[in-house]
Structure formats: structure tokens, C-alpha cells
Amino acid sequence: MNNNTDTPVAIIGLGLMGQALAGAFLRAGHPTTVWNRTTSKATELVADGAQLAATVTDALKAGSLTVICVTDYPAMRQLLGPIETELKGRLLVNLTSGDSTQARAMAGWAEERGARYLDGAIMAIPPAIGTVDAVILHSGRKPDFEAHKGTLDALGTVTYLGEDHGLSALYDVAGLSMMWSVLNAWLQGVALVSTAGVDAATFTPFAHQVAAGTADWLAGYAEQIDTGSYPADDATLDTHVGGMAHLIEESEALGVNAELPRLFKALADRAIAAGHGGKSYPVLVEEFGKQSTVYR
């Protein structure tokens, strides 16, 4: 593994995130070359010691690896398409957000041109880059990741998911789904308790306890999903649905939005209609594995 801090790196794309990535490489001591369509965004990095490349090709040639972080995949294609013959032998680490189909297509495109390609996803905001709180996911060929992990470590907590280039994008959206689910559930709770004059700060330690306690169930439930067996050792889905009906009634009686609890119950009702009422909660994964029937 290459873990010295004098490995030269290049960053293409100096938006909020690209600037943070370049800054983290610089702080770790890596000779850092940067390129951005709007050159002025490089000013501060250059003052901090970065080299400004005149062209994308110059940037590619300057780094042992090139990190690309632009708005989206079409932008990336616009950047790399005109210089495709320069990609042979280069290692590209794409930290631009997109979906798994785009990631796999980009990997195929880059590899056809002789490049090595890792796709990645950043689970952090720019100020966290360079700290352990910045989780950065990577997928692609393992030897490419292992050869460069020591360099990528400068960016945060760097994780490898597997050879399928689409995995980072899939984990990215799965993580976002977790994040918004927790936030929306908390907001529903805040709205409910506020009807009794309880403010968000007072409610939040309890909400945190519930969220953390629920998270502790996941490993055991994952085992049920992976074995396809759902013994209701704790509570049946029928019991959960009783609680959901209560949540809907209470929300509506208090004038609080009940769309989220109604969604919970609609999914659970379908699983019960399919004969799963006596099973444990994660049997609902079967409903999550199907195309949506509403909100399309």
C-alpha cells in the first residue's frame, strides 16, 4: 500500500467539495495539482501550495491518482470525453454523486480507454473532509483501491465496498434513505409533542434514545432477512399495525400531518394481506423490494 504523503495527486473540480478535498491532500503533505473550469476557485488552494494545471490533461499527468468531483456524471463525461486518449494507464477516483447505472457505465467507458477507475461516494459535508467523520465509500477493482488507500486516507475514513463499481452509489442512496427516515420520524415526533407545549430540545434526548435503541435491533433483523425466516420473538407485524393505527389517529386528532404514519401502515397492511401478520417486522422487506404503487 502506498501510504507516504509525498504521492502527487490531482483534483479536477473545485466546487465546495473539490476545494475541501484538495485542501485535505495539501494539509496531509501531498503535492497537489488542481484544475477547475472557473480558474478563480483555485486561488486560495494555490496560495496554500497547490499547483494550478492549465488543462485537464496537465492535471491528469501530474497526479499518481486523479480525484474528480464535479456536479454530475454528464459534466464528468464533458470533461474527459475530449481527452479520452490521455486516460490510458491513469487511475481515476470519481467522487461525483450519481446513480449505480451511471457509475457502472462510467467505469466501463474509462476502462475501455485503458484507465483504472474507482467510483466513490462522499458521506460528509465539505468542512468534515480530512477528519474521521468524513466517510468516503469506494468501489471498483480491489488492487486499485489497495494501492491507493494510503493516499486516499488523507480525505477521511476511507472504506472499500467491493468490485462492483455501482456499490458506492447504492450505499450512498441507501444512507440517504436512512438519514431522511430518521429525520422525518424525529420531525413527526417534534410536531406531536409540540401540541402539548413540549419544545424540540426537550423531546430530543428521548428521541435519540429511541433511535439508538432501534438501531440496536438491526443486526438481529438483518440475520432474519438474510435467512428468510421471521420468527416474531419480540412483536408480530399485526401488533405493530395496531400501534401505527394509534399513531395515525393521534396525529389526525391533534392536527398533525399523518402522511408518514399512513405510509408505514399502507406497507404493513400489504404485508399482512400477503399473510405475514404473525411474522416479525423485517418481513416488510418484501414490500420494499417491489416497485412503488403510489407516489410515482
Question: Distance between CA 25 and CA 28 in Å, rounded?
Answer: 5
SS3 41: helix
Start-to-end Cα distance in the chain: 46
**58 to 77, contacts with ligand FVH by CB under 6 A?**
69-72, 75
Q: Of residues 36, 102, 251, 280, which one binds ligand FVH by CB under 6 A?
A: 36
Cell of 15: 466546487
Q: Of residues 78, 101, 131, 177, which one binds ligand FVH by CB under 6 A?
A: 78
Please state the closest distance from residue 79 (CB atom) to ligand FVH, in A.
5
Please state the closest distance from residue 59 (CB atom) to ligand FVH, in A.
12
Q: Of residues 9, 14, 110, 152, which one binds ligand FVH by CB under 6 A?
A: 14
Please state the closest distance from residue 69 (CB atom) to ligand FVH, in A.
5
Query: Residue 21's closest CA among 7, 75, 30?
Result: 30
**Do the Cβ atoms of 258 and 252 come closer than 8 Å?**
yes
User: Which C-beta is closer to ligand FVH: that of 16 or that of 253?
Assistant: 16
User: Which C-beta is closer to ligand FVH: that of 32 or that of 236?
Assistant: 32
Q: Of residues 7, 32, 97, 151, which one binds ligand FVH by CB under 6 A?
A: 97
Contact string (CB under 6 A) for ligand FVH, positions 99-138, x = contact:
-----------------------x--xx------------
Please state the closest distance from residue 176 (CB atom) to ligand FVH, in A.
9
- The three state secondary structure string of 86-104 is HCCCCEEEECCCCCHHHHH
Question: Distance between CA 135 and CA 165 in Å, rounded?
Answer: 17
User: Which C-beta is closer to ligand FVH: that of 8 or that of 15?
Assistant: 15
Q: Of residues 52, 79, 170, 200, which one binds ligand FVH by CB under 6 A?
A: 79
Look-up of cell digits 399512513: 262
Query: Residue 31's closest CA among 16, 15, 52, 13?
Result: 52
**Do the Cβ atoms of 60 and 93 come closer than 8 Å?**
no
* Candidate segments 22-30, 35-43, 213-221, 235-243, binder of ligand FVH by CB under 6 A: 35-43
Residues binding ligand FVH: number (CB under 6 A) = 22
Look-up of cell digits 502506498: 2
SS3 51: strand
Please state the closest distance from residue 125 (CB atom) to ligand FVH, in A.
4
Query: Residue 259's closest CA among 184, 199, 198, 186?
Result: 184
Q: Of residues 7, 10, 18, 258, which one binds ligand FVH by CB under 6 A?
A: 18
Residue type, 248: I
Q: Of residues 9, 10, 11, 17, which one binds ligand FVH by CB under 6 A?
A: 17
- Residues sharing a CB contact under 8 Å with residue 41, sequence separation 6 or more, in sequence order: 14, 15, 19
User: Which C-beta is closer to ligand FVH: that of 97 or that of 224?
Assistant: 97
Residues near ligand FVH (CB under 6 A) = 13-18, 36-38, 41, 69-72, 75, 78-79, 96-97, 122, 125-126
